[in-house]
Amino acid sequence: FRLRRDGDLRSLRARIAEAGGGSPLPYDPHLYLCDPSAVPRRGGKRGGALRDLLASAAAAGQLTRQEVVSTLPAIVLDVQPHNTVLDLCASPGCKTMQLLEAGAVVFANDVHPGRIAALRDALRRHGRLEGAHGAEGGRLVLTQGDAMSFPMPRARAGRLGRRGFHRVLADVPCSGDGTVRKDRSVLPRWSPEVGNALHATQLGIALQGLRLTREGGRMVYSTCSLNPVEDEAVVAAVLREVAKEAGRNDALEILPWPHEKFPGLRRRDGTRVWTVADHVEGDEEEEGDVRLRTHDSYETGLAAGMKNIAATMWPPPKNDLVVNRSPATDLRRCSRFLPHDNDGTTGGFFVAILHKRHGWNVPAGFHKNVQRSKASSKSTIRRPPSSVLQKVVQQYQLDSKVARQRLWWINREEERSNDAEDADAAAAKTTPLPPIYFVPPELEAYVVAGDLVPGIEVHHAGTQVFRYVEKRNGYVVVEGAMDLVQKELLLAP
């Protein structure tokens, strides 16, 4: 488990020690490794005092239960407080919380509404949206959309502009074969076909992530898989594609692993050579038997009828003009973590730290510069109608100019009224209206973009300040938001 990096946690540390929770790891005083029998189990009764302590501390936002190697991508992303960060595949949210703790503005995205709901629930459960640590929610935008076509923010953005994000995390969907030690359901379902089927998606997400990274910025690509088709093959394909788009072979480099930050943590170099395989049914006499079938090249795999085949799955040739031609593009700079290398205390993981040395003009269809247009009534985020806004302004004596600029409706799917009705008609009804959020300038540009880009929905932006109460037929200030309302929205005395 991982403790928050801010706040005074001396009392919590003492209680963890008293409950037998172990001691911090040598490379991070906020990371603890405890006996698996003490870890809370869903529906179980194991763990005793430590289990109860971890559960209560997690609910208070003081710690996050997280695999040790799973914390590495956010650490090596090297986020600074002034950065704007994009987490392309954010659910279930542990890494998003790490990024928020760095003090950055964070855009957390996922493609499935169920995963967005799980992400929101996790952030709320850990007090990141409201409560003691709710200020972090003011630096957070939650979006639902396809990471492979995630749009570039509008040019007007203060921190973003057309230059993109300072940091991008691409912790992509994967086969999860590195989690076999802790999740016994993975192995019976495993086959190379799982990784093969995900390769194109992983490559698409990684490429788009780099296009959205500003020049001089950094992207971390990671998986909890040990399969090179999901790991080094993706990195090699990204290096080649970026060289093609940028028109230069030095636009992207793999940064070396920062060994000095992780004393005692064993890693292995990435590999330059691997085997590509699929699986076929075995002999008829052996019911349910499956065997691996390897393919030396794309051509032989194609001839054999391999499913989900892509030429980028195979290792680059020795005469490749980009990959492995210099230390900066040497796949051995990637990092693989094996459970038995660290006394079985970690899962399996893969990390590649990519530095965007030079920018380039990305192909049409990938770089989406959003133009102003009228938002439709189906938008997930929009300006409150004037009748609603004016009532709130008068009730709380707000600065009307600031309110018009900074207050937004965020109408999540579970809260939407009839989309066929226009905003003013909906406002005239007594049915529950969407919550009102305060959106600071550094978030506004992407919030507006999310309103207008097909396929991207905004589920949270900034800080919720007002909620609708049906019995009162009006809005009230949400708990904990009054300080923000007084500081940012009230008329000057």
Helices (H), 190-345: 192-211, 232-246, 298-303
94, 174, 224, 334: the catalytic one is: 224
Amino acid residing at 465: V
- Under DSSP, the state recorded for 43 is T
| 94 carries an active-site annotation | no
CB 483 within 8 A of CB 138: no
Q: How many CB atoms neighbour CB 292 within 10 A?
A: 11
CB 252 within 8 A of CB 356: yes
Q: How far is CA 469 from the centre of its chain?
A: 33
CB 95 within 8 A of CB 108: no
CB 458 within 8 A of CB 380: yes
Q: How far is CA 481 from the centre of its chain?
A: 26
Q: What are phi and psi of 281, to 5 degrees?
A: -65, 145
Report CA-CA distances (Å) from 421 to 111, 386, 426, 429, 456. Answer: 27, 16, 6, 11, 21
What does the alpha-carbon distance between residue 163 and residue 153 come to, in Å, rounded to a whole number? 9
Closest CA to 91 of 57, 142, 137, 164: 142
Name beta bridge partners: 279.
292
Closest CA to 468 of 440, 439, 426: 426
Q: Write the DSSP assignment of 420-465 as a string of letters.
A: TS-HHHHHHSSSPPPPEEE--HHHHHHHHHHHHSTT-EEEEESEEE
Q: Write the DSSP assignment of 86-121 as a string of letters.
A: EETT-TT-HHHHHHHHTT-EEEEEESSHHHHHHHHH
- Under DSSP, the state recorded for 486 is I
As given in the structure block, the two tokens for residue 474 are: 């009006």
225: three-class secondary structure by DSSP: coil
165 contacts: CB under 8 Å, gap ≥ 6: 83, 84, 85, 86, 107, 212, 213, 214, 217
Which residues are annotated as catalytic?
224
